[in-house]
Homo-oligomer: A and B are copies of this chain.
Amino acid sequence: MTDTADRADVTAAVEDRLRRVGRKIRSSMLDAMPDGEPVRWLYGPMREYPSRPGKALRPALCMSAGRAFGGAADDLLGVAVAIELLHNAFLVHDDIVDGSEMRRGRPTLASKYGLAAALNAGDALAVVAGQVLRRATRRFDRDLADLVWAEFDTMAMRTLEGQATEAGWLLDNVEQLRPEDYLELIMHKTCWYTTIHPLRVGAMVGSRGTAELAPLVRFGFHFGAAFQIRDDMLNLVGDEKMYGKEILGDLYEGKRTLPLVHLTANARGADRDLVLEYLNMRRDERTPELVRTIRDLMDDYGSIEFTTKFAEGILSVAEDYFQEAFASAQPGHDLDFLRSLVPYVWARWR
């Protein structure tokens, strides 16, 4: 696709921009946070995740798409901040459900403050996200404000549908999943709020409601799916310090990621029995040795290799859709950034 030097340039440029957007969005999130009591059990915990450096992909997509479609930064910032705040709210609640201990390299709210404080802090972050978006949409005429809000609500519901589906798979101990089921899941759980919504709402605000949004869904879905699969892979092959979460945490949980779906469908004989038995266990029954065995089976059955190829296929479709999605966008730094995202994710696969 590109040679090694180009790839390093693309990666550095994308990461530099994400860092800059991240700083701006973090300070805006913290500015939006109300002062009040109790600090110890609500307002303090609420500030934690927004203070920790995250990827900032969502706000970067929103701001860049918005400007590429002719918008002003002032019209876009509040919309991007609202997305990131809702993302933080979801992370807080996800970490409760998943029983996760680490988030962005530090303890999760649930493990640091307990269930009640974490649950309230997540709820409160969602309220503040709404406050920020209401302030942001006051600048727009009422029709555009209504459109933006309809997008935001749709995104929230799609995400919850995805989370509920995934939780249901675990609770029902679903065994017969195909890659298509996994894609359908992450379309809801991840893509809608990570890529599709930020791009759509950015384009909507930038173009004052005139941009065509359907092609953005196609690009956003394929790019977002590849991004999520990369995230799942990092949990299997990554480095804990870089990653900021527990390595193999998804496997401890029995999360139906693409490599696990592949392994479950392909393991044979005693291996298959072991995998099915593993899926049936409670989290606390899954010993480090057993988790390591399942992880090794993923190598033996080519599940990691399959997942890598699958993601490459999706990424190349995303690249094909890029042109159509941004046909009416203006050339410039923002469009360049958006165009470099596919090579950026690609660079991590090779």
Contact = CB atoms under 8 A, between A and B. Distances in A.
A58 interface: no
Contacts of A247: none
A38 B168 CA distance: 9
A38 B181 CA distance: 13
Contact of A38 (B126, B156, B164): B164
B124 A160 contact: yes
A120 interface: yes
Contacts of A130: 130, 153
A138 interface: yes
B116 A119 contact: no
A48 to B, nearest CB: 14
Contacts of A93: 119-120, 123
Interface residues of A, number: 41
Given A93-B119, A93-B123, A38 B171 contact: no
Interface in A39-93: 40-42, 93
Interface string A128-144: 00110010001000100
A116 B142 contact: no
B37 A127 contact: no
A313 interface: no
B115 A161 contact: no
B127 A164 contact: no
Nearest to A155: B127
A165 B120 CA distance: 10
A96 interface: yes
A38 B163 CA distance: 10
A294 interface: no
A115 B96 contact: yes
Contact of A97 (B97, B116, B156, B171): B116
Nearest to A122: B123
B127 A115 contact: no
Contacts of A42: 160-161, 164-165
Interface in A95-153: 96-97, 114-117, 119-124, 126-127, 130-131, 134, 138, 142, 146, 149, 153
A126 B157 CA distance: 10
Given A120-B163, A127-B157, 8 more contacts: A41-B164, A41-B167, A96-B115, A97-B116, A116-B171, A123-B126, A134-B149, A134-B153
18 contacts: A36-B157, A37-B161, A40-B168, A41-B167, A42-B165, A93-B120, A116-B170, A116-B171, A117-B167, A117-B168, A117-B171, A123-B123, A123-B156, A123-B160, A124-B160, A126-B126, A130-B153, A134-B146
Would you list the 4 A-B pairs with minimal beta carbon distance, nearest first?
Answer: A116-B167, A41-B168, A42-B164, A41-B164
Interface of A: 34, 36-38, 40-42, 93, 96-97, 114-117, 119-124, 126-127, 130-131, 134, 138, 142, 146, 149, 153, 156-157, 160-161, 163-165, 167-168, 170-171
